[in-house]
Amino acid sequence: MGDLNANTRWQSTGDPRLDKAVHQWLTWDKNERTRAQVECLVAARRLDELRLRLCSRLSFGTAGLRAPMGAGFNRINDLTVIQSTQGLYSYLCRCSADFSSRGIVVGFDTRGQEESGCSSHRLAKLTAAVMLSRDVPVHLFSTFVPTPYVPYAVKKLGAAAGVMITASHNPKEDNGYKVYWCNGAQISSPHDEEILQSIEEQLEPWSASCWAEELVESCSLRTDPLPHIDRCYMDELASLCFHRDLNRSCPLKFVHSSFHGVGHVFVQRAFHAFGFAPPIPVPEQKDPDPNFSSVRCPNPEEGESVLELSLLLAERENAHIVLATDPDADRLAVAEKSDGCGWKVFTGNELAALLGWWMLLNWKEAHPDPADTQGVYMLATTVSSKILQAFARVEGFHFEETLPGFKWIGNRIHELSKAGSSVLFAFEESIGFMCGSLVPEKDGVSSAAVVAEMAAYLHEQNLSLHQQLLNIYQTYGHHVSKTSYVVCNDPPTIEKIFSRIRNFDAEASYPKKCGGVRIVRTRDVTTGYDSSRDDLRSRGVRSTGGAREDHRRPAGRVPGAREEQPDSPLRLAPPPVPPVDDVTSCCVPLLLLSVVSIKFSLDYFHTQ
């Protein structure tokens, strides 16, 4: 195929399209390890693997660009991060007149992969190098930070955008590139599509400077925002503290696991900001470890099976509450010791009920006039529990739902803020919570401190978190949720599933029953169908990709499903699910990088 820039010769694959992709990769990639991966695949004639890696590209999902690390145009690596940053730069030049003076914020978590030579820190420095090579100021954090620090810094510093290198709670093989707009929210349509188009137009690295990690040390346009941002964040976090004296004397003990990620130092500081003694760290999981060596998967949402070390430590220390942040500290899991009943691990929907109640309780104490609720909102994604809607009906504030993914919540918060309204609380059922308006993103650090204070307050009232949850249900109606996962790798199968749902008994006819229970409302967000409306048109949220359906049953049972980026290609449902005929009436897929994750969510509520 001829000489390439590194004097590497290779034999044609016999596929012109694949040959072009191989040539581009070996010409452009300066990372010796990922170059070697492609060269080995070519030498071994592993053409299917080469096509998989080189003949498709990354796309934005519910949490940015996310994929395994390693060689390939559809993987996270040096080259694809440089390409993505070039595309982001070009797009910002077109739509932000003062971009070159405002600059961008860049943060990273603790992930890394030896075989590809990729780490979040290295990828963050390459992101910065691309921008610095074009004389754009870069606020690059000097060490790993929680994901919420990036959108917080974007707003605080007035930056044009932010980039966080993280794959959150995904398996150790993965990494990601999450982009925030100047409003602090993750990018959504049309920015995501237009940035992808801009990336396609900027595939070849501009110059050797794009690979120059040393630029972040030598260029005067690079600053470290960490001291200023950390101080401001903790100062503003204190505004969510309502009972500091009570916290100082709190007899409860808290255990915290950072799941080998970034959370330890920041949660300790958050507890200090609230007046608490520091939580007891899980020693095996306190320090960063890109292999996540003590957990089978780094996702605290999985519950007791991944909280084993935390619960054992809590038993030894006679601690009552376990808090676990995921590796980038944007999500929070909570468990509470129950007298004689072991441990109660709360679901995301249960925690949302508690946090929503808590934020409203303290807001009402500061705003006793009921009329003040007219400018107050709480938000949730459409697949989440409708408990906040029940709150709103009783308390008089506004509730709205968004499409799945906190990017939709963050952008809606920006719109409401511009209109003079305030958002007290927002959540998605996958243990992502936003308390107050500190940052328009889910935040495990602030949520951990808020949960601790809520537990301290309830303990003073001789109540546990679980007991208060039951009290909430008595007041606002019972809501019970069950979530599970199914993964499918075959897009035609997914098409058949949804064709079956939408043409169940006849053409354009949705199911009338699920598990023997009558369905009283069906909403198909993808097609814009809503059986409860006279014109059959769905209002509010609407999906432009993937698929999403709700089926509402008598007494308010809502099986729903959402499009999501899969954490793992083998993420199967451990809990029992309905029979096959019933499963098809409440499932929804995501097609991303040839992997489809179907997430089932059943929210049952009964109003008193």
pLDDT tens digit string along 92-140? 999 998 999 999 999 999 999 999 999 999 999 999 999 999 999 999 9
The whole-number pLDDT of residue 592 equals 25
Whether residue 525 is found in the same domain as residue 541: yes
Instruction: State how far Cα 24 lies from the chain centre.
Output: 32
- 66: in domain: no
Task: Please report whether residue 65 resides in a domain.
Answer: no
pLDDT band at 521 (very low <50, low <70, confident <90, very high): confident
Q: How far is Cα 589 from Cα 489, in angstroms, rounded to an integer?
A: 10
The CA distance from 335 to 496, in Å, is: 40
484 within some domain:
yes
Catalytic residue among 168, 257, 585, 601: 168
Task: Check if the beta carbon of residue 465 is closer than 8 Å to that of residue 334.
Answer: yes
487 Ramachandran zone, left/alpha/beta (phi>0; psi -120 to 50): beta
554 — pLDDT class (breaks 50, 70, 90): very low
Q: Does residue 377 sit in the same domain as residue 323?
A: no
Output the pLDDT for position 186. Answer: 96
Query: Which residue matches tokens 């992930």?
Result: 111
Residue 556 CB neighbour total at 10 angstroms: 18
Is the link from the previous residue into 190 a cis peptide, with omega within 30 of 0?
Answer: yes
Band of the pLDDT at 302, cuts 50, 70, 90?
very high
Same domain assignment for residues 114 and 85 = yes
Q: How many domains does the chain have?
A: 5
Q: Is 66 left (phi over 0), alpha (psi -120 to 50) or beta?
A: beta
Which of 320, 340, 360 marks a domain boundary?
A: 340
Whichever domain contains 97, its CATH number is 3.40.120.10
Residue 520: the pLDDT is 81
- Residue 356 maps to a domain: yes
In a domain, 61, yes or no: no
Assess whether 326 and 428 both reside in one domain: no
Q: Known catalytic residue: 538?
A: no
Q: pLDDT, tens digit, for every residue of 215-237?
A: 999 999 999 999 999 999 999 99
CA dist 388 → 112, 335, 357 (Å): 39, 21, 9
Question: Would you say residue 590 has pLDDT above 90?
Answer: no
Q: Do strands 422-428 and 478-488 pair parallel, antiparallel, or not at all (unpaired)?
A: unpaired
User: How far is Cα 307 from Cα 603, in angstroms, rounded to an integer?
Assistant: 24
Please, what is the average pLDDT of the chain?
88
Same domain, 268 and 393: no
Same domain, yes or no, for 515 and 593?
yes
Q: Are 284 and 292 in contact (CB under 8 A)?
A: no
Supply the range of the domain harboring residue 39. Answer: 1-55
* C-alpha–C-alpha distance, residues 576 and 439, integer Å: 37
- 403-420 per-position pLDDT tens digit: 999 999 999 999 999 999
Q: Where are the alpha helices (DSSP H) in 55-119?
A: 78-95, 99-102
Q: Which of 304, 317, 322, 339 minimizes the C-alpha distance to 463?
A: 339
From CA 307, how far away is CA 236, in angstroms rounded?
30
Which pTM was predicted? 0.88
Look at residue 64 and tell me if it is in a domain. Answer: no
Look up residue 527 and give its DSSP letter.
T
Same domain (yes/no): 110, 220: yes
Residue 213 tokens read as: 């990690």
Q: End of a domain among 340, 373, 397?
A: 340
Half-sphere exposure of 468 (CA within 13 A, CB side): 25
What's the Cα-to-Cα distance from 19 to each of 25, 50, 83, 317, 606, rounded to whole Å?
10, 10, 20, 61, 60
Q: What angle do CA 141, 145, 146 make, to 5 degrees?
A: 140
Average pLDDT over residues 417-424: 96
Residue the block writes with tokens 């537990």: 455
- Whether residues 205 and 243 share a domain: the answer is no
User: How many Å separate Cα 66 from the centre of its chain?
Assistant: 11
Whether residue 213 sits in one domain with residue 102: yes
Tell me which DSSP letter residue 370 carries: G
User: What pLDDT does residue 604 have?
Assistant: 52
Instruction: Give the domain-ending residue among 429, 447, 476.
Output: 476
As a whole number, mean pLDDT of residues 456-468 equals 98
Give, for 37, the enclosing helix (H) or strand (E): helix 32-43
Q: What is the DSSP letter of 64?
A: B
pLDDT higher than 70, residue 1: no
In a domain, 62, yes or no: no
Residue 60 lies in a domain: no
Q: Which residues of 93-121 are buried (b: 16+ CB within 10 A; e: fewer)?
A: eeeeeebbebbbbbbbbbbbbeebbbbbb
pLDDT at 550: 55
Examine the domain organization and report whether 414 and 525 are in the same domain: no
**CA–CA separation, 123 and 106 (whole Å):** 10
pLDDT exceeds cutoff 60 at 583: no
Instruction: For residue 522, name the pLDDT band (cuts at 50, 70, 90).
Output: confident
Mark whether 115 and 144 lie in a shared domain: yes
Q: Are residues 331 and 413 in the same domain?
A: no
Percent of the chain's residues with pLDDT above 70: 87
Residue with the bigger pLDDT between 494 and 9: it is: 494
